[in-house]
A and B are shown apart, each in its own frame.
Chain A
Amino acid sequence: MSARNAILARLKGPVPVAAEAAALLDGPERPAVDAAALESEFLARLALPSVNASHDRIASLADLPAAITRYLTDQQEPLTLCCPPDPRLAACDWSAFTLHADAAADEGATLAIARRGIAETGSLIFETSPIAPMLPNFLTLHHIVLLAIRDISPHLEDAPLPGPQPRAHYWITGVSGTTDIEGTYVRGAHGPRFLHVILLQE
């Protein structure tokens, strides 16, 4: 008998009733979020020490390069940016920047567009696709994320995409941190040391 059949033979039992599994999710306990104030709820979580992200605000997508310039200049970083091949970004004037699509091993700054923000935790939600690589978001020192305010949702249950899943669906809730030496928190363990969220108002 194959290992598969041997294991399954020992686990024979009733087929789960879908309604029973669904009932386990009725009225889930979760942190309260004021649905009428999603933006401020999200920003409050973003500022928590565990998330440790800064933020800025722009009125339209055309203002994005200026906001990134502000941030990188403040951080005394060059205007060099790893930028995803997302057609939405093509409308911006990037003439002040040196752009590239693939991240270097010691990438300085990477831009990404979050599909959703979650107020409950301050999480940013992403999926991989031909216009959204994953690796640059983990290799970079400064992770700069564009998020439309209308895409902020209350709870983690609002994060997943329905239907067939992409290769990776991922939630980023802060910077790369570790407490592996004596429980002391250090940021920038392997990936980003800085997370900067730019909120788009339009």
Chain B
Amino acid sequence: MSGFTDRVDAALADPILKIAVERTAGTAEAKRAIAIDAFPDFEAARTRAAAIKDHVIAHLGAYLEQFEASAIASGAQVHWAQTADEACRIVIDICKAAGARTVARSKSMLGEEIGLPHALEEAGIVRVETDLAEHIIQLADERPSHIIWPAMHKTREQVSALFRAKHANPHEEETIAAMAQSARRELRGAMLGADVGISGANFLIADSGAVCTVTNEGNAELSLVPPRVHIVTAGIEKIVPSMPHAIHMLRMLARSATGAALTQYTTFYTGPKRVGDRDGPEQMHIVLVDNGRTKMREEGLAEMLRCIRCGACMNHCVVFRQIGGHAYGGTYPGPMGAVLTPALDGLAPNRDLAHACTLNGKCQEVCPVKIPLPTLLKGWREKSWHEGLEPTSMRWGLGVWAWFARRPALYRLGTALAIRAMRLIGRTGWIASLPLASGWTKHRDLPKPAARSFMAQYQQEQRK
């Protein structure tokens, strides 16, 4: 048993998790479908979005240098980090130099990826998560289970109990609106009192040095405008050449993520507060983070760098919908997580992820930048095989199968015998348990096979 299968077993045994995931992912799927129907050119727009990202990835070094020069010209300070630890160290050093005791954080998956919440805690800096879902999981001391809805795994009943236990002035009415108001009361003061605001970036604009954030709550702006210092941590793949390129990507992002034409708040920050400005930070720092991205680009995963973190792939994934996000074990869940996690955290402990996929292709179909996720997952399966990471039973089983497959007559004889045996076991129409296949039959029944194999029936037809 691996960590992954243990986590999946726990997830499948949790009846509340399934309800919680279904409520949000189901709504997201339906809303996206309506938005795409209303945008007839969406297919062509996906092709363009993929081309924009491919262009950037092919010229990533040059665009990063251009971004750096533009950002510096606007008064921002640019830092570079090869690893997660290095990125955290840079952020902590900036906080310490600013004498910061409290930071307000606007939800960023890159921040989660590099372990920034933990690093801030270790440095003794108070962290206020300002996105409502991040606030929920901070109170619950959990990790995000979805990249757009980090608290997707929680039902309203669980959130209510949490707020009642932790909020100073919790909701009286048992409604979601009242719970959101309770969080608003709790967070407003904390946001305004922070010394540093930390955000990620949805896009980095190369020709202006601007950093784009999108939110529906407006928590990014409330976290980043009042403090003295604004720190951005961004993956190096977030670059786009110019504003019009960003605009195309924004049209794709909102529709794919939530089914809206645009997020409620879309902000482009360029440098610190200007002379005479009535608000804004005195310093702006941008930390450009590699953390395995250059390696992905070199080692056949360049297409994964197209990802704009919309979450559509997981909302439409039959596996994610059953097990939720925590079972994946990494920062990123679902299909995109199953591709990214082995690249970020190593293949050996994560080889199961590529197998937890039916290859139904739905993720690729809904991806706004056309990432061939099933192909990339198959790539990890092959790599795992070549590196000898597959378990003995799998290697032995596939070896036996390959031996038979190279001997068609014997193979057909074997399948004919297997069909007879399975029809005997499955007299009621379903097979509830099968030797050597308990991994399958433990959670579902197999249908009784047809009387004869496809090949046998085909040959009979040909003879007519």
Give me the interface of A with B, judged by CB distance under 8 Å. 2-4, 6-8, 10-16, 20-21, 24-25, 28-31, 45, 50, 85, 101-102, 105-106, 120-121, 123, 128-130, 133-135, 138-139, 156-157, 159-160, 164-184, 186, 188-192
Q: Which residues of the other chain, A, contact B184 by a CB distance below 8 angstroms?
A: 188-190
Contact segment of B120-128, B213-221, B333-341, B418-426: B213-221
Q: Can you pick out 16 interface pairs between chain A and chain B where the beta carbons lie within 8 Å of each other?
A: A7-B64, A8-B64, A13-B60, A16-B62, A24-B245, A28-B244, A28-B247, A128-B277, A129-B277, A167-B280, A178-B132, A182-B27, A184-B27, A189-B183, A189-B184, A190-B188
How long is the Cα–Cα vector from A13 to B55 in the complex, in angstroms?
Answer: 12
Q: Which of B218, B243, B244 contacts A191 (CB 8 A)?
A: B218
Which residues of chain B come closer than 8 Å to A10, judged between CB atoms?
294, 297-298
B58-96 contact mask (Cβ, 8 Å, vs A): 1 or 0? 111111110000000010000011100010000000000
With A165-B268, A188-B184 as known contacts, state yes or no: A3 contacts B81, CB within 8 Å.
Answer: yes
Q: How far is the CA of A21 from the CA of B55 in the complex (A)?
A: 7
Q: Which residues of B contact A (CB under 8 A)?
A: 20, 23-28, 38-39, 41-42, 44-45, 48, 51-52, 55, 58-65, 74, 80-82, 86, 130-133, 136, 149-151, 154-156, 159, 176-177, 179-181, 183-184, 187-189, 191-192, 208-210, 216-219, 221-222, 225-226, 236, 241-245, 247-248, 250-251, 258, 260-274, 276-280, 288, 290, 294, 297-298
Contact B266 A171 (CB under 8 A): yes
**B180 near A166: Cβ-Cβ < 8 Å:** no
Residues of B within 8 A of A186 (CB): 176-177, 180
Considering the complex, give the chain A residue whose CB is closest to the CB of B288.
A7
Closest 8 CB pairs of A and B: A11-B61, A130-B276, A29-B41, A191-B218, A183-B27, A183-B24, A133-B278, A16-B59
Complex contacts, B267 vs chain A, CB 8 Å: 168-171
Q: Is the CB of B262 within 8 A of A171?
A: yes
Known: A10-B294, A105-B192, A173-B264. A25 touches B245 (CB 8 A): yes
Given A139, A159, A183, which contacts B28 in the complex, CB threshold below 8 Å?
Answer: A183
Given contacts A168-B269, A189-B216, contact A182 B20 (CB under 8 A): yes
**Of the residues B74, B241, B279, contact of A165 by C-beta under 8 Å:** B74
Residues of B within 8 A of A30 (CB): 41, 251
The residue on B at minimum CB distance from A30 is B251
Q: If A29-B41, A30-B251 touch, does A189 touch B218 (CB 8 Å cutoff)?
A: yes
Q: How many angstroms from the CA of A12 to the CA of B263 in the assembled complex?
A: 35
Known pairs A85-B278, A189-B218, A190-B188. 8 more at Cβ < 8 A? A6-B82, A13-B61, A24-B48, A120-B261, A129-B277, A159-B247, A168-B268, A173-B261
Which one, A6, A11, A21, A156, contacts B247 given CB within 8 A?
A156
Q: Name the residue among A24, A30, A164, A175 with the largest chain B CB count within 10 angstroms.
A: A24
In-complex Cβ contact of A16 among B149, B189, B222, B241 (8 A): B241
Q: Which residues of B contact A183 (CB under 8 A)?
A: 23-28, 149
Q: Which residue of A lies closest to B189 (CB)?
A: A105
The answer for the CA separation of A179 and B64 in the assembled complex, in Å, is: 34
With known contacts A106-B188, A171-B265, A130–B277 Cβ distance under 8 A: yes
CB distance from B223 to the nearest CB of A (A): 9
The contact of B52 among A24, A50, A166, by CB within 8 Å, is A24
| Contact call A177/B264, Cβ cutoff below 8 A | yes
Give the residues in chain B near A15, CB-CB below 8 Å. Answer: 59, 62
Q: Chain A residues near B263 (CB, 8 Å)?
A: 173
